[in-house]
A and B are shown apart, each in its own frame.
Chain A
Amino acid sequence: MCNITKESVYDAISNVIDPEVGFNLVEMGLIYDAIIDDECNVKVVMTLSTRGCPLHQMLTQWVKDAVEIRVDGVKDVEIEVVWEPEWNISMADDNVKKALGAI
């Protein structure tokens, strides 16, 4: 049985900031799910704000590193980038929407 919680994975990822907009990936709503199995292997399902993002490789690497380094007891970390559902601003937290002028 694994003690890692979804919240601890999200907390770790909230340290990863997109330098273009200045918000972390969790409050941007880019992290869709964190699946933790009994062996403490973690699979993060995420998206990016745009398909042609030049930070694509870096962001996914930072998410992987953040989980590996900041979550105790984690074994393998896998990152899956998905494009469905397509990200939109309604998925972001209110503080992000407000700062960007979306509300």
Chain B
Amino acid sequence: MFSISKDYAPPFKMIAPFFIIGSIFFFLATVALLFMDPILGHFDPHIAGWVHLYLLGFVMIIIFGAMAQLIPVVVEVGHYSVDLYYVIWPIMLIGTILMVIGFWWISALLPYGGLLVLTSMLIYLYDTLMTLKRVKNITLTVKTAVAANLFLTTGIVVGFIMTLAIGAGVNIDISWWLGTHAILVLGGYVVLTIIGLSLILLPMFGLAHGFDETSINRAFNLMVGGVILHLFSTLIGFSFGRLVALLIIFVSIGFYINQVWLIYKVRARKENDIWARSMFFGYGSLVVAMLLSIISLIFDVESILLSAVWFLVMGFVTFLITGHLYKIIPFLVWFERFSPLVGKERVPMLNEMYPKKMADFEFILSATGVIIAGIGILIKWNDLYYGGVALLIGGAGFMLVSVKWMLEFGKKRKEEK
């Protein structure tokens, strides 16, 4: 009867592990925040361990899982070899665990963890770049995907060399390269990927049309220029170039925020569901992070810089990811369990396929936690920071349970049939 093409949707069992692992690591990362002292410098191995727990275990693994579904959708061609995703997550998972153990307890494990993470990312990059090679319609999203993946490749190679320096005694100046590693991975990959995808996803979920795209094109060009300038300035030891690169990246994010505002103004869908509220909080946090960053550049106060990073990471990146999980997971579950029933019986709508109460609790606890802990970091009041983290742990717990709820939606019904 109703035949369905599966070219654009990889198998559910292939992608589900990415979201399960990502949610567990998000919860673990919030718990680990309790053992962090917010006044520790960013060179501290405890902080480095936490950053890799959060960035690899949560951010990267969720992005990779989401990309398995989103890449074919946004570039309009099927994956080069989607089966590679079956091996990406186990290698990434073991590599991440070894790296975190390496940073926190046994530094000799770092190179092994780093090698496994590098391997999993190269597999991901291989499939992505080979897929992009087949694209005929070169849109801004395609360009951001190419640039982001090239930056990721460079970033992880730099990171791997750094793990060799820590765990195997290779002689490089880690403190000099750390900034570039962070810029390549966070700015060059994570933020650039978000820029590219948001041009598709924000109008799609907000039903926005007819907006000018000049701002996002400028954001893309400036981000690429800023990241490349930072990399070359690091290579030739040019400190002023690194500062200029950071300023260019700031301006790029400014143009990006303006683009998000332009899309928001013309959106036809005004209902504020969990996705919309997560986007409001995420972009609000990005604005706060930008303002704090500018203030920290003027006054050179470390607590202001740390709170800017906090709002960027825990406010912006986290909420953009968690907000989209309430869209992506129901779609994948719907596609797997309900799309074959279309035309035969009533099938649920996507907005019926996430737990609204639990999602509300997750949002309120997480948002409050981010704000309170962020203020705690800013005014150097540790008790406030730990209080905020406790709320954040509650939010992450609700997120974990919500992900389980969404993944199991309709499962019993299918088994009974």
- The answer to whether the Cβ of A84 comes within 8 Å of any Cβ in the partner chain is no
Contact B350 A20 (CB under 8 A): yes
Contact B204 A49 (CB under 8 A): yes
Bound form: Cα–Cα A87–B209 in Å: 8
Contact B200 A50 (CB under 8 A): yes
* Residues on A with beta carbons closer than 8 Å to the beta carbon of B4: 57-58, 61
Chain B facing A: main interface SS: loop
Identity of the chain B residue whose Cβ is nearest the Cβ of A56 in the assembled complex? B8
Name A52's contact: one of B9, B73, B270 (CB within 8 Å): B73
- The answer to whether the Cβ of A35 comes within 8 Å of any Cβ in the partner chain is no
Name A86's contact: one of B73, B209, B331, B334 (CB within 8 Å): B209
- The answer to whether the Cβ of A95 comes within 8 Å of any Cβ in the partner chain is no
Contact stretch, chosen from B15-23, B310-318, B341-349 = B341-349
Identity of the chain B residue whose Cβ is nearest the Cβ of A102 in the assembled complex? B268
How does the 8 Å CB contact mask read for A65-103 relative to B, with 1 for contact and 0 for none? 110010000000000000000111100000001001110
Contact A62 B5 (CB under 8 A): no
Q: How far is the CB of A70 from chain B (nearest CB, A)?
A: 9
- The answer to whether the Cβ of B155 comes within 8 Å of any Cβ in the partner chain is no
Q: How far is the CB of A77 from chain B (nearest CB, A)?
A: 13
From known contacts A61-B2, A89-B268, A102-B268, infer whether A54 and B8 are also in contact, taking CB-CB under 8 Å. Answer: yes
Segment 191-219 of B: residues with Cβ below 8 Å from A: 200, 203-205, 207, 209-210
Bound form: Cα–Cα A89–B37 in Å: 50
Bound form: Cα–Cα A97–B348 in Å: 21
Bound form: Cα–Cα A102–B72 in Å: 30
Q: How far is the CB of B14 from chain A (nearest CB, A)?
A: 16
Give the interface size bracket for B toward A: 35 or more
- The answer to whether the Cβ of B1 comes within 8 Å of any Cβ in the partner chain is yes
- The answer to whether the Cβ of A53 comes within 8 Å of any Cβ in the partner chain is yes
Segment 66-90 of B: residues with Cβ below 8 Å from A: 69-70, 73-74, 76
Contact A65 B207 (CB under 8 A): no
Identity of the chain A residue whose Cβ is nearest the Cβ of B334 in the assembled complex? A19
- The answer to whether the Cβ of A15 comes within 8 Å of any Cβ in the partner chain is yes
* Residues on B with beta carbons closer than 8 Å to the beta carbon of A17: 349
Bound form: Cα–Cα A102–B209 in Å: 13
* Residues on A with beta carbons closer than 8 Å to the beta carbon of B73: 52-54, 56
From known contacts A50-B203, A52-B200, A62-B342, infer whether A101 and B5 are also in contact, taking CB-CB under 8 Å. Answer: no
Contact A101 B269 (CB under 8 A): yes
Q: How far is the CB of B301 from chain A (nearest CB, A)?
A: 43
Contact A65 B210 (CB under 8 A): no
Most chain B CB atoms below 10 A, which of A22, A51, A62, A97: A51
Contact A101 B270 (CB under 8 A): yes
Contact B271 A100 (CB under 8 A): yes
Contact B8 A61 (CB under 8 A): no
Name B209's contact: one of A54, A56, A66, A88 (CB within 8 Å): A88
Name B269's contact: one of A52, A61, A88, A100 (CB within 8 Å): A100
- The answer to whether the Cβ of B173 comes within 8 Å of any Cβ in the partner chain is no
Contact A19 B3 (CB under 8 A): no
Contact B210 A54 (CB under 8 A): no
Bound form: Cα–Cα A53–B1 in Å: 23
Q: How far is the CB of A57 from chain B (nearest CB, A)?
A: 4
Contact B207 A49 (CB under 8 A): yes
Identity of the chain B residue whose Cβ is nearest the Cβ of A87 in the assembled complex? B209
* Residues on B with beta carbons closer than 8 Å to the beta carbon of A20: 205, 331, 349-350
Identity of the chain B residue whose Cβ is nearest the Cβ of A58 in the assembled complex? B4
Bound form: Cα–Cα A69–B207 in Å: 30
* Residues on A with beta carbons closer than 8 Å to the beta carbon of B221: none
How does the 8 Å CB contact mask read for A1-29 relative to B, with 1 for contact and 0 for none? 00000000000000101011110000000
Segment 326-354 of B: residues with Cβ below 8 Å from A: 331, 334, 338-339, 342-343, 347-351
Contact A62 B269 (CB under 8 A): no
8 A-B pairs with least C-beta separation? A101-B270, A89-B268, A57-B5, A52-B200, A50-B204, A22-B349, A54-B73, A102-B268
Question: Could you list 10 A-B pairs, sorted by A, with CB under 8 Å?
Answer: A15-B343, A20-B205, A49-B204, A50-B200, A53-B73, A54-B9, A62-B2, A88-B210, A100-B207, A102-B270
